[in-house]
């Protein structure tokens, strides 16, 4: 089980605008501290988290942040419409397009996904795979 995910950034203000544009709509709570930004799904008292927390921080070693080639963090949306809405919102908040919302031929018939880069260049996916929604034809 993944305990948490961290991405490095140099501009916390730009990252804060970007991630706060869509993560709260997915149920993530937000806090900011001296070490950076923290996003977590709510957990009932006495329960353990099921999904990993997500952190956005300057690199601990003090060097410039860099993103990994092939590294990506995916966030599950509730519907295809929410993928479209959050993708548009994230672009307006400083994200860069890496693949407009839609189905991909290489994935399952119900896997609906959009890809973006945060202001630092970290790759982010927003996806829905609800079999109760229309699927990819073909």
Residue 65 lies in a domain: no
Over the stretch 66-96, which tens digit does the pLDDT of each residue have?
888 889 999 999 999 999 999 999 999 999 9
Residue 134 lies in a domain: no
Residue 3 in this model has a pLDDT that exceeds 80: no
**What does the DSSP assignment read for 38-91?**
EEE----TTPPPSSPEEEEE--TTSSPP---TT-EEEEE-SSHHHHHHHHHHHH
Whole-model pTM? Answer: 0.89
Residue 76 belongs to domain spanning: 4-59+70-128
The number of residues making up the chain comes to 138
Domain count, the chain: 1
| pLDDT for 1 | 61
CATH number (domain holding residue 37) = 3.10.180.10
Q: Band the pLDDT of 4: cuts 50, 70, 90.
A: confident
CA distance 104 to 16: 29
Q: Band the pLDDT of 6: cuts 50, 70, 90.
A: very high
Contact 61, 70 (CB under 8 A): no
Residue 75 lies in a domain: yes
Please state, rounded to an integer, the average pLDDT across all residues of the chain: 93
Residue 112 lies in a domain: yes
């Amino acid at each position: 089980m993944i305990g948490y995910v961290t991405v490095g950034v140099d501009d916390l203000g730009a990252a804060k605008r970007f991630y706060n544009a869509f993560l709260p709509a997915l149920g993530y709570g937000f806090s900011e501290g001296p070490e950076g930004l923290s996003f977590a799904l709510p957990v009932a008292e006495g329960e353990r988290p099921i999904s990993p927390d997500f952190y956005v921080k300057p690199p601990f070693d003090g060097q410039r942040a860099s993103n990994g080639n092939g590294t990506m963090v995916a966030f599950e949306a509730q519907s295809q419409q929410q993928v479209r809405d959050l993708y548009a919102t994230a672009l307006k908040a400083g994200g860069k397009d890496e693949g407009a919302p839609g189905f991909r031929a290489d994935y399952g018939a119900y896997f609906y996904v959009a890809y973006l880069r945060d202001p630092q260049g970290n790759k982010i996916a927003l996806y829905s795979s609800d079999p109760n929604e229309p699927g990819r034809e073909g």
